[in-house]
Structures are given as C-alpha cells and as structure tokens.
A and B are shown apart, each in its own frame.
Chain A
C-alpha cells in the first residue's frame, strides 16, 4: 500500500521527500530573489465609499489571479482617499475598466470616476506569497497581499506519492532509454501510469526517425487512445445496447484523466500541450531541457504550460533531483525538441 504519511516538503525550494522538486511558476526563484510583478488597474475613491466599491467588485467578476491581493489600500497622498484594485491589466484594457465602472450611474458618481484618467496602473505581485515574511515584504513594497498559509502545500499534502512506485517507473524508463541509445535511436522514453490501479498503461520511446512528429509523449498518449478505441469496440460487440446521446458512463475512460506521466527529459511545447489536451494528473521528469522544454520557468521562454492560468487544464510537474539517478540518464542534444 502507498505510504500515506505526511510529506516532507521544503517550503522554499519545494523539494519533496528530498527526492524531487515541484515545478511551479512564481515559486522557484532561480533567476533572482525578486518577486515577479504584473500590472493591474486601480481607482482612487473617497474613503467613506469603500462599501460601494466592494459591492461593485462582488457584482462584477472582473478578472482571475487577484485572490491573493487585498482589494483596497490607503491612498499614499490623501488620507480621505482609498485606492481600489479593479482588474488585472493583462486581461482587460483601461477602457474596459472605465466602461465597467460607468455602466452603473450610482457607482461612478459615488466613486467619483469622471474620466479615463481616474484609472491608475499599479504594479502588484503576480503570485501569492510563499512565506509570511514575503507577504509582509510584498505588502510594504508593492501592494497589500493576503496571507492564508500556503495553498500549494495544502494541495500537495492531498496527493499520494508512493516513492517506491515513482522511482521504479523512473528506473524502468532510464533502462529502456539506454537500450535506445545503443540502437542508435534517440534515448527519450515516456510512460503513462495509472496510480490508482497501479497499472502501466503504455511505455513508448521517441520515433521521430520514423515520423518526424512522433515524440515519445505523443506516442504514449496515442497508444492509450488506440487501446480505449479497441476496448470500446469489443464492449460494443458484447452488448448491442445503443445509446448515442449519453456518454458519461463511468465505465468509459476519458482521455488520460487521473494518469501520471513519467519521462526521461523535460518535454517540448508540442508534447506539453498534448498533455494538457489529454488532461493528465501529474508529470515526473528526469533531465531538464533548457532550450526546448516547456515546463520549468527557466527553460526556453518559461512557458510553464502545465500551470498557465489561461489554459483550461493544469497538472502538477516534478523534476527528479537525486544526482545519482540523473547521472544514468542518457544525454541528448540541447537543440532537440524533446
């Protein structure tokens, strides 16, 4: 059985059980120690009208990514004024904010919004603070933030990490990669695994010399889909019950929901997005791909496709840290899309 004892998580580095590191944008400060900032729209309002503003915000779902920010702060210049946060600037324009505020006569009159000039751009921390000190620092330097404990750690503690299972899967794909290398093929190997039923669903290696786009991740996802098509075909042969409209029977597997992916090298943007489309649960990888990878913040353009808040699916990603095991992974050219 899985060992469901509480995890050993380093809150600063996000290294779990001393073995693998969670890859989370905004959390791993590899480039510098500074906090990533983003732009937001704010308005200056009369201090006594704070309730009007809060009600306005409640009635208008403005933008996402604001949960960690306080909605009001004291004006830095005038004691009788407050500064209220309306929306994130990467999602709506200044003009849209203005329109939103003007849509309700009462709101824009009471808040004294007269022109576009009353909407002020501010820099705010893009991500929730990692520690309580950081929360204090951010509030002092940029914009007041809310500290509610670390939601990421709380979420990770819900996950089951069976160390034996994880390291066995990783060791398996390394062994296959070594054989690939000896065969003169690219030593990139991926495995799809069902952690609930402890079942290997597919293990595939890179086959781009057969077909230029057959990366190992794509091959794995394709094989699982093909197996499901076959399984349903056999099922349909058994029972001729035809029910076209209803397809949410629990017996039918949906894409790769609930499955874990193990792979030797950090996947490229093509493969990472394939994993988003397939709705996987977790990704474990061994070697980083600094030029072509699409997971780590310091890989390529820092896409972090697994945690983009604009895409419709997110999954956990973990990079193995134990140098002894990493040394055994065959090296590939940095210029290769994995």
Chain B
C-alpha cells in the first residue's frame, strides 16, 4: 500500500457516492459505502436500508460487512467458536479499507473496530451520531482490551479515519433528501439554521484536528495541502462569512460531477422560486437528520 495516491481514494469514494445516490433513488437516507481489499479490489458495497427494513440499525457499513462475511464464507449456521474462522476474519479485514460518504456513527464505528478494519475514509462529518471524532472517538480510544489467548473472540483494533473525501457531494445528497416536494406553501418562519439546509452552495468549514493529527493529515493529503489544515485550524482569522463557510463550493481536490452541478443549479432555482421546501415527512428515525458541520 505504499504507492497509493490521493486519486485512488477519490476514485473509490466516487463509487461510494454512487451507492449513496442509488439509496436516494430508493428513498433511503443517502449514505453509501465501499469496502476495498489491498487498495485495489472492491469486495463489497453498501447503502442505508433503514426505511426498507424498518430497522434503525441497517446502516450502509453493516450491510457492506455482511456482504463480505457471506462472500468469503465467514459465517456459520452453528453458534460454535471456531478459532480458524475467527482468525480469517481479522486477517481479511486488516487489509480492507472502508470508503463511506458520511462519517460512521457510534454504532458502526464500534463494529468496525470489533472486526479490525484497516482504515476508514469518509466524506462529511456526522454531527449527530459521529463516532470517528465528531461526538465520540470510538475509533481511537484505548480500552485496554487484551487479546486473551485461546479465546480470540476477545478482539479489538483501533483505526484511523480520514475526513473530507468527496464531502460536498455527500452533503448535497443529504440535503436533497431532506428537501423534497412539499404540498404545503413554503414556510415563512423557517429558522436560520433550517434555511442553511436549502443552500447547495455553502459548506461549513471542517475542523480536521477532530479526526486526525497534523502529521497524519500531511501524510495523507500531502504538504501541498497544508493551507487547508491551517485554514481549518485558524477559523478565527477569517472573516465571518469565510469562517462559517467555504466560499467556493467547487472543491479543488474532488470536484463535483458535472451532472450533479447542473442538478444543483436547477434545485437552487426551484428553491428560490418557492417550488420546493424542506420535507419534514422523512424527519423521523433517519441517520444524519441535519448535516450542519459547525465551524467549531
């Protein structure tokens, strides 16, 4: 994994975003993911299925993990401890990276350390349920767990989780989901915070140090991107508008797909004309109800 480039990560995240888009078409919360073996081979995909299954816990990551376990025959019909199978699972996942459009929640973040994932790459922060730095650092915390010999079911492995891969597009998908056709007239008393939901051209600044160290940042994104780190750390020196949002919504690292950009322009127009308003029907029980990554 020495010759990996940022481009490979973006390429895989593009595929994860496609999964999220498919989820959106299926009227699910648009979160998608991709599991990649050895930085080359896609071993499974997943997207949120909470609406279809009526289960609040069928998140994209868990769907993707299930697919891997099935595919590599790592489940059993008998509930009996099998050291060899257990070992195979950890061996396999130690070479698998996860690409997911939204930061894993506390639940998935914990599941990922229990199966021993190698690394996680995510798009947008999850301010409501995030378990990789936004609310809890489930991926980093040292719990002092010993891998008791002779019983490998006691397993635990911390992992790194890298933010900001395709973040804008991940956020746009979620905003699209929560902003839908509404028969009622546009609500005039929309709160300021809600109105941000309707904006497709503004993205809050991300605080990288919540998720990774500066050293890790530079190693992953390269010295040439050091200004992004500085900007994210020193929100105080920016003007009010800059401090809250990145002005230029086209990310130089991972630009939006052309179709997405065209679609955004169209949505923007409809919102201005009052044809579209926030859709509250989907408000219940969905992960990441509102992505409002605060400048923090």
Residues of A within 8 A of B (CB): 92-96, 99, 116, 184-186, 207-213, 218, 221-222, 225-226, 228-229, 232, 245, 247, 254-256, 268-274, 276-279, 291-292, 300-301, 303, 305, 308, 310-312, 333, 335-337
Query: B111, B151, B156: which has the most chain A beta carbons within 10 Å?
Result: B111
On whether the beta carbons of B289 and A312 are closer than 8 Å, the reply is yes
Please indicate the chain A residues that have their CB under 8 angstroms from the CB of B107 in the complex: 269-271, 273-274, 276-277
Of the listed stretches B142-150, B209-217, B253-261, B266-274, chain A binds B142-150
On whether the beta carbons of B57 and A278 are closer than 8 Å, the reply is yes
Report the nearest B residue to A218, measured CB to CB.
Answer: B57
How many Å lie between the Cα of A207 and that of B80 in the bound state? Answer: 9
Report the nearest B residue to A247, measured CB to CB.
Answer: B281
Question: Distance in Å from the Cβ of B69 to the closest Cβ of chain A?
Answer: 6
On whether the beta carbons of B129 and A273 are closer than 8 Å, the reply is yes
Q: B75 at interface (Cβ–Cβ under 8 A)?
A: yes
Please indicate the chain B residues that have their CB under 8 angstroms from the CB of A232 in the complex: 54
Report the nearest A residue to B144, measured CB to CB.
Answer: A291
Of the listed stretches B38-46, B95-103, B131-139, B165-173, chain A binds B131-139
Given contacts A209-B76, A212-B69, A255-B56, contact A95 B243 (CB under 8 A): yes
13 A–B contacts, CB within 8 A, in A order: A95-B243, A209-B79, A213-B62, A225-B54, A229-B54, A270-B114, A271-B107, A277-B105, A301-B136, A310-B135, A335-B156, A336-B153, A337-B156
How many Å lie between the Cα of A269 and that of B154 in the bound state? Answer: 15
Please indicate the chain B residues that have their CB under 8 angstroms from the CB of A335 in the complex: 145-148, 154, 156
How many Å lie between the Cα of A95 and that of B240 in the bound state? Answer: 10
Please indicate the chain B residues that have their CB under 8 angstroms from the CB of A209 in the complex: 76, 78-82, 153
Q: B196 at interface (Cβ–Cβ under 8 A)?
A: no
How many Å lie between the Cα of A246 and that of B24 in the bound state? Answer: 19
How many Å lie between the Cα of A99 and that of B295 in the bound state? Answer: 13
Residues of B within 8 A of A (CB): 53-58, 62, 65-66, 69, 74-82, 86, 89, 105-107, 109-111, 114-115, 128-129, 131, 135-136, 138, 141, 143-148, 151, 153-154, 156, 235-236, 240, 243, 281, 284-285, 287, 289, 294-296
Within 8 Å by CB of B75, from A211, A222, A312, A333, lies A211
Within 8 Å by CB of A269, from B89, B110, B153, lies B110
Within 8 Å by CB of B114, from A95, A213, A225, lies A213
Report the nearest B residue to A270, measured CB to CB.
Answer: B110
On whether the beta carbons of B153 and A96 are closer than 8 Å, the reply is no
How many Å lie between the Cα of A61 and that of B82 in the bound state? Answer: 55
How many Å lie between the Cα of A218 and that of B240 in the bound state? Answer: 45
How many Å lie between the Cα of A245 and that of B86 in the bound state? Answer: 45
On whether the beta carbons of B284 and A254 are closer than 8 Å, the reply is yes
Interface of B is mostly: loop
On whether the beta carbons of B76 and A273 are closer than 8 Å, the reply is no
Report the nearest B residue to A292, measured CB to CB.
Answer: B143
Please indicate the chain A residues that have their CB under 8 angstroms from the CB of B76 in the complex: 209-211
Question: Distance in Å from the Cβ of B42 to the closest Cβ of chain A?
Answer: 21
On whether the beta carbons of B55 and A213 are closer than 8 Å, the reply is no
Within 8 Å by CB of A228, from B54, B145, B296, lies B54
Please indicate the chain B residues that have their CB under 8 angstroms from the CB of A270 in the complex: 107, 110-111, 114
Please indicate the chain B residues that have their CB under 8 angstroms from the CB of A308 in the complex: 135
How many Å lie between the Cα of A92 and that of B115 in the bound state? Answer: 35
Please indicate the chain A residues that have their CB under 8 angstroms from the CB of B154 in the complex: 333, 335-336
Nearest first, the 4 A-B pairs at minimum CB distance are A225-B55, A273-B107, A277-B56, A270-B110
How many Å lie between the Cα of A315 and that of B141 in the bound state? Answer: 24
Within 8 Å by CB of B141, from A95, A221, A301, lies A301
On whether the beta carbons of A211 and B69 are closer than 8 Å, the reply is yes
On whether the beta carbons of B143 and A279 are closer than 8 Å, the reply is no
How many Å lie between the Cα of A268 and that of B109 in the bound state? Answer: 12
How many Å lie between the Cα of A311 and that of B127 in the bound state? Answer: 9
Report the nearest A residue to B78, measured CB to CB.
Answer: A210
Within 8 Å by CB of B145, from A96, A210, A291, lies A291
How many Å lie between the Cα of A312 and that of B58 in the bound state? Answer: 18
On whether the beta carbons of A300 and B295 are closer than 8 Å, the reply is no
Question: Distance in Å from the Cβ of B164 to the closest Cβ of chain A?
Answer: 20
Please indicate the chain B residues that have their CB under 8 angstroms from the CB of A93 in the complex: 235-236, 295-296
How many Å lie between the Cα of A291 and that of B105 in the bound state? Answer: 21
Please indicate the chain A residues that have their CB under 8 angstroms from the CB of B235 in the complex: 93, 95
Query: B77, B89, B285: which has the most chain A beta carbons within 10 Å?
Result: B285
How many Å lie between the Cα of A308 and that of B243 in the bound state? Answer: 28
Given contacts A95-B235, A273-B107, contact A208 B153 (CB under 8 A): yes
How many Å lie between the Cα of A273 and that of B295 in the bound state? Answer: 26
Question: Distance in Å from the Cβ of A115 to the closest Cβ of chain B?
Answer: 12
Within 8 Å by CB of A292, from B75, B79, B109, B145, lies B145
Given contacts A292-B143, A333-B154, contact A312 B128 (CB under 8 A): yes
Within 8 Å by CB of A300, from B135, B143, B243, lies B143
On whether the beta carbons of A273 and B115 are closer than 8 Å, the reply is no
Within 8 Å by CB of A301, from B143, B236, B294, B296, lies B143
On whether the beta carbons of A279 and B80 are closer than 8 Å, the reply is no
Please indicate the chain A residues that have their CB under 8 angstroms from the CB of B295 in the complex: 93, 96
Please indicate the chain A residues that have their CB under 8 angstroms from the CB of B54 in the complex: 225, 228-229, 232, 255
Report the nearest A residue to B105, measured CB to CB.
Answer: A273
Query: B75, B77, B82, B235: which has the most chain A beta carbons within 10 Å?
Result: B75
On whether the beta carbons of B285 and A279 are closer than 8 Å, the reply is yes
Query: B53, B106, B144: which has the most chain A beta carbons within 10 Å?
Result: B106
On whether the beta carbons of B105 and A229 are closer than 8 Å, the reply is no
How many Å lie between the Cα of A271 and that of B69 in the bound state? Answer: 19
How many Å lie between the Cα of A180 and that of B189 in the bound state? Answer: 57
On whether the beta carbons of A210 and B110 are closer than 8 Å, the reply is no
